[in-house]
Amino acid sequence: MVNHIKTELEKLRKEINYHNERYYVLSAPEISDYEYDQLINRLKELESQHPELITPDSPSQRVGGRPVTSFDSYQFKRQMLSLDNTYSEDDLREWDRRCQKLAINRSYSFVAELKIDGLSISAMYEDSLLIRGVTRGDGEVGDVVTENIRTIRSIPLRLPEKPKFPLSSKNIQIVENDSLPLFASIENLEDDESLWPKAVQEIEVRGEVFMSNTSFRKINQEQEEKGLARYANPRNLASGTMKLLDSQVVATRKLDFFSYDLYFDGEKPFETHWQALEWLRAAGFNVNEHSQICENIDEVIKFCREWDEKRNHLDYETDGVVIKINQIALQEDFGSTTKFPRWAVAFKYPPRQAETKVNAITIQVGRTGALTPVAELTPVLLAGTTVSRASLHNEDEIIRLGLKIGDWVMVEKSGEIIPKVVKVLVDKRLENGADLEDFSMPKNCPVCGGLVVRPVGEAVSRCTNESCNAKLKEALLHFSSRDAMQIDELGEKIVEQLVDKKLVSDLAGLYYLKLSDLLSLERVGKKSAQNLLDQIEQSKKRELSELITGLGIRHVGERKARVLANHFGSLNKLILASREELTDIFEIGNTVATAIFNWFSLESNREIINKLHQAGVNFEQATSSTVAKIFAGKQFVLTGKLITFTREEAQKLIEERGGRVNSSVSKKTDYVVAGSDAGSKLEKAQTLGITILDESLFREMLDLK
């Protein structure tokens, strides 16, 4: 019996680890979040029945352990150095000249890596198991934060038995070194198990813990919905999170990790830094994909110039480029000063800040009725875009900044799409002769005139009118967003008109729109109107958790929605749940339970639910399908005549695999499946450079050869 459970546990852990890597390291998930949760739930269920079978590397151990009261200290065997900064191309050339002197005629290359704006940590492994995670601290002594590190899914809990080497690393040459008996020169690593360092006692991996901009924005949005203060930037939130004593909270924050340094028993094991990066990748760590070998300083400078712009499009913050001498023998020769290595340097980008004037402060009303003050700025160029507005978040923030209308301010872009005001340039008041005006929160909603209140203890002021148009517009955009019902065609402009023309008066109203309604809108042609209707129709089949997310209940984001969908299995059961029943669910606290209960108690909301039901929107949790979601998030268009399936069959096959079928080709289309006699859609796909699949390729993708 126990043997049989053991086997199932092993299989589950393997499967979960595989999907973790697909998701967190390769960014190419194969299954939906829902299916992933099912695997985790099964694992937890089995482990709670058989606690003796819990292993330290089980994925269940990533959810956080018991809170601690303080962190132990750890003295590094090999100091965690910081980097000297350079700010100009001349500085970089000067550093290269110093390297040339130190290299005494030996040639070298560089590795240029993005400088990730997070906090550095060290992860230590013994017998392949993660045994310790330590923050950099002062470089000599750091805090032991193992439980926190364990929650980061891009840090393996166990190193694989046999590394999966990419083809490009075939030519890695391992240092022949007496202190590392296992590392003879190895030509083909792919099948060579001896490369796995069984004789090494401790493997140490260093790198940067960071938070993606997407996670950062989500957390700030949640803070805002809870009426709490926002976090300043992803780096502060990541480093604050790493210092939390309760790793269960850390687990909810979705930290990520890029590795860039490797030691076997305190020594660098390879001839080049690049090889260490390849080893790390093969061992299952996340290594930044933009790292590059540069043959000379000109190539380094080119890399730095290119990334000054390109970094604006990444989903994490970078504050520069780190340049390292690739040859380890030279690194060891160059050595370090007390603080910095001589073989590496940071090239820092100037902060993405700009000075401009606040001409007015306007108010935006959100989906929950929150009133957000927005600074209207004299347009200024910042991080590659012209900025003319900045969020001021709430009244307290304006007081904290000491901001008045007419002030000059410093705006900054960091993690947010909309930049924020970081400080008032008080000196400029004097320079420009002050003509300033105080800001005060309006007593009435600027959109509907409803009463505005600021609940005691909250930072946010809200419009109290349930049928405020601004709330409805935001609610519709949220309902149709990617995390919810995925009605991409429902843009801001259309929502504006639908609400203003009273064509939609609540969320469910979308399902009662007719073609003629849409055609009456400005700048909506027949094609896009039909597309929108098709998408609305398809959204009826979304998963229950996506529908719950879409309802926009306060405190219920994507994650909580999944918990609720998994627990109740149908919307009708959730509607009937009492407050107690809700608080009994793990992960649903009092505040959330009350918000859910209150939402479903409102007559107007019940009416929305009825209308959604009558329209045929799915209220049930799908039983987990066995088909892998290989097309998750992908958009298809079918055109021409298919021979081996009908259109409907093809559509079903795509949708079962998580994809979506649209009626017309646009920039967002991922694949066009073209049968015989395909016409204009095929042509359009060709001009847009979209991948075109003929029927046999499509069958291959479906694994139906």
Q: How does 86-107 read in b/e, with b if 16+ C-beta sit within 10 Å?
A: beeeeebeebbeebeebbeeee
Q: How far is the CB of 156 from ligand IVH (least distance, A)?
A: 19
Q: How far is the CB of 352 from ligand IVH (least distance, A)?
A: 17
Q: State the alpha helices, DSSP H only, in 552-660.
A: 558-568, 571-576, 579-583, 590-601, 603-615, 647-656
Q: Annotated catalytic sites, by residue?
A: 115
Residue 154 or 662 with smaller CB distance to ligand IVH = 154
Which among 623, 126, 80 has a CA at the least distance from the CA of 344? 80
Q: What single letter denotes the amino acid at residue 17?
A: N
Q: How far is the CB of 117 from ligand IVH (least distance, A)?
A: 7
d(CA 55, CA 60): 9
Q: How far is the CB of 249 from ligand IVH (least distance, A)?
A: 23
d(CA 635, CA 535): 11
Residue 81 or 595 with smaller CB distance to ligand IVH = 81
Which among 651, 639, 632, 642 has a CA at the least distance from the CA of 680? 639
C-beta nearest to ligand IVH: residue: 120
Collapsing DSSP to helix, strand or coil, 261 comes out as strand
Q: How far is the CB of 115 from ligand IVH (least distance, A)?
A: 4
Q: How far is the CB of 118 from ligand IVH (least distance, A)?
A: 7
Strand partners, 261: 206
Query: What values do phi and psi take at 664, rounded to 5?
Result: -130, 160
d(CA 86, CA 54): 49
Q: Strand 110-116 and strand 292-294: pairing?
A: antiparallel
- Dig out the tokens for 283 from the structure: 């061992």
Give the H/E segment covering residue 276: helix 273-282
Q: How far is the CB of 50 from ligand IVH (least distance, A)?
A: 41
Q: How far is the CB of 444 from ligand IVH (least distance, A)?
A: 48
DSSP 46-87: HHHH-GGG--TT-GGGGG-----SSPPEEE-SS------EE-
Residues that bind ligand IVH (CB under 6 A): 81-83, 113, 115-116, 120, 208, 260, 322, 341, 344, 346
Q: What is the greatest pairwise CA distance in the chain?
A: 83
Q: How far is the CB of 140 from ligand IVH (least distance, A)?
A: 13
d(CA 300, CA 287): 19
d(CA 703, CA 320): 44
Q: How many CA within 13 A on the CB side of residue 138?
A: 5
Residue 257 or 597 with smaller CB distance to ligand IVH = 257
Residue 220 or 286 with smaller CB distance to ligand IVH = 286
Q: How many CA within 13 A on the CB side of residue 215?
A: 17
Strand partners, 410: 355, 423
d(CA 552, CA 540): 17
Residue 47 or 208 with smaller CB distance to ligand IVH = 208
Q: What single letter denotes the amino acid at residue 246?
A: D
Residue 24 or 260 with smaller CB distance to ligand IVH = 260
Contacts of 465 (CB under 8 A, 6+ apart): 369, 445, 448, 449, 450, 451, 471
d(CA 493, CA 491): 6
Give the chain's radius of gyration (CA, Å): 28
Residue 226 or 352 with smaller CB distance to ligand IVH = 352
d(CA 370, CA 392): 13
Q: How far is the CB of 207 from ligand IVH (least distance, A)?
A: 8
Query: Please, are residues 358 and 405 in contact by the beta-carbon 8 Å criterion?
Result: yes
d(CA 666, CA 635): 10
As a whole number of Å, the end-to-end CA separation of the chain is: 40
Query: Please, are residues 10 and 139 in contact by the beta-carbon 8 Å criterion?
Result: no
Which among 25, 128, 10 has a CA at the least distance from the CA of 58? 10
Residue 283 or 345 with smaller CB distance to ligand IVH = 345
d(CA 254, CA 271): 34
Which among 389, 391, 362, 392 has a CA at the least distance from the CA of 378? 389
Place of tokens 């999966």: 164
DSSP 173-189: -B---TT-TT----S--
Collapsing DSSP to helix, strand or coil, 423 comes out as strand
Q: How far is the CB of 290 from ligand IVH (least distance, A)?
A: 10
Q: How far is the CB of 338 from ligand IVH (least distance, A)?
A: 13
Residue 344 or 392 with smaller CB distance to ligand IVH = 344
Q: How far is the CB of 160 from ligand IVH (least distance, A)?
A: 23
Residue 324 or 699 with smaller CB distance to ligand IVH = 324
Place of tokens 């450079």: 689
Residue 256 or 397 with smaller CB distance to ligand IVH = 256
Residue 351 or 616 with smaller CB distance to ligand IVH = 351
d(CA 183, CA 199): 10
Residue 96 or 489 with smaller CB distance to ligand IVH = 96
